[in-house]
Amino acid sequence: MKFRQTALALSAVLAVASLSQTARAQTDKPIIINFSHVVADDTPKGKAALRFKELAERGTQNRVHVEIYPNSTLYKDKEELEALQLGAVQMLAPSLAKFAPLGVGEFEVFDIPYMFPSKAALRKITDGKIGAELLAKLEPKGIKGLAYWDNGFKLMSATKPLIQPEDMKGLKMRIQASRVLDAQMRALGAFPQVLAFSDVFQALQTGVVDGTENPPSNMVTQNMHAVQPYATLTNHGYLGYAVIVNKRFWDSLPSDLRSALDGALKEATRYGNDIAQKENDTAVATMAASGKTQFHTQTPEERKAWRTALAPVAQSMEARVGKGLIDAIRRETESLPSD
């Protein structure tokens, strides 16, 4: 904790250092991209970040070095956004649920329950005009959005079986800092509690919270299944990321390096998005085999009951994320089949 505070206090110094790095771009010294994130290396995001490092270093003949700091080793959720704006790190891939502190609450549209009937529907949005327009909203904040990375659809886990939506009543549930996720838990009668990702395991272990929601890959790599005896494969919402960079840093790169990095990122994005589903499927199998968590697959009736319970969330969040945006996504995706 103390280290993190010190790290932030040093941000201004590091920002100056990062600008002087820019000035050094024409010399022999490599340019360093510090890439901070909060999950394990062995997750879709962790693996995509490592692939980006490999491709970026090769593609620039080592004129750029990418230093990856996984698992909140450098910064926790909110701090990493501040660090990026200050230039203390150059690259992040925060979950789309965490962009509101930058003043861009529209990203929380991705948190609306059952917003995307399938990965194909999601991809149509992130790869299309809406995805590009959302990333463009970051530019006035000094941030450039470069890509969308998948994790996957979320399950609900807790200390008790979650079969009907009523089973959520009264449970303390950890959420990411998103107003839509807050509304989602309240719609189920649960008590949402915002916690940084790095604090979740301990909060579950000590009973500070009773449960949480996550894609399976995040759950298994943080060992949450050791302290969550029940999980339901609800697939009620999506968790993915935007890869973002400090705009001043990015714009100051020599154009040949920037295009090599663009290429590396495109390939890392393809790779990460290709493996994400399999990583999550494997995570469920691993946790089920451990015998520590009992997984429940919903019947069509149960799924319908959860959908009904969560249906009011979209409407109640129209003012937050924009009715126009919700309607536009629905128009683009309604004809696509569900997974």
| Contacting positions for ligand LMR (CB under 6 A) | 38-39, 95, 151, 176, 197, 214, 218
Min CB(80)–ligand LMR separation in Å: 10
Longest alpha-carbon distance in the chain: 64
Min CB(185)–ligand LMR separation in Å: 13
Residue with tokens 């360093």: 32
Min CB(246)–ligand LMR separation in Å: 19
**Which CB atom, from 226 or from 305, has the smaller least distance to ligand LMR?**
226
**Which CB atom, from 94 or from 165, has the smaller least distance to ligand LMR?**
94
Q: Which residues contact 222 (CB under 8 A, 6 or more apart)?
A: 39, 40, 197, 200, 201
Residue with tokens 């150059």: 90
Min CB(287)–ligand LMR separation in Å: 16
CA-nearest of 193, 244, 222 to 83 is: 244
**Which CB atom, from 45 or from 63, has the smaller least distance to ligand LMR?**
45
DSSP state of 143: E
Is residue 188 within 8 Å of residue 168, measured between CB atoms? yes
DSSP state of 95: B
Residue with tokens 């965490």: 98
**Cα distance between residue 279 and residue 149, in whole Å:** 14
Min CB(307)–ligand LMR separation in Å: 22
Residue of this chain nearest to ligand LMR (CB atom): 95
**Which CB atom, from 97 or from 309, has the smaller least distance to ligand LMR?**
97
User: Kind of pairing, strands 238-246 and 91-92?
Assistant: antiparallel
Min CB(238)–ligand LMR separation in Å: 11
CA dist 193 to 177, 182, 186, Å?
9, 8, 11
Min CB(257)–ligand LMR separation in Å: 27
Is residue 253 within 8 Å of residue 278, measured between CB atoms? no
**Which CB atom, from 39 or from 310, has the smaller least distance to ligand LMR?**
39
Give the full edge-to-edge strand order of the sheet including 230-233.
191-194, 172-175, 211-214, 155-158, 230-233, 294-297
Min CB(150)–ligand LMR separation in Å: 11
**Which CB atom, from 95 or from 333, has the smaller least distance to ligand LMR?**
95
Residue with tokens 């800092």: 177
User: Kind of pairing, strands 230-233 and 64-69?
Assistant: unpaired
The angle subtended at Cα 137 by Cα 125 and Cα 40, nearest 5°, is 70
**Cα distance between residue 330 and residue 199, in whole Å:** 35
**Which CB atom, from 46 or from 165, has the smaller least distance to ligand LMR?**
46
Is residue 193 within 8 Å of residue 172, measured between CB atoms? yes
Is residue 206 within 8 Å of residue 125, measured between CB atoms? no
**Which CB atom, from 164 or from 193, has the smaller least distance to ligand LMR?**
193
Min CB(63)–ligand LMR separation in Å: 29
**Which CB atom, from 18 or from 218, has the smaller least distance to ligand LMR?**
218
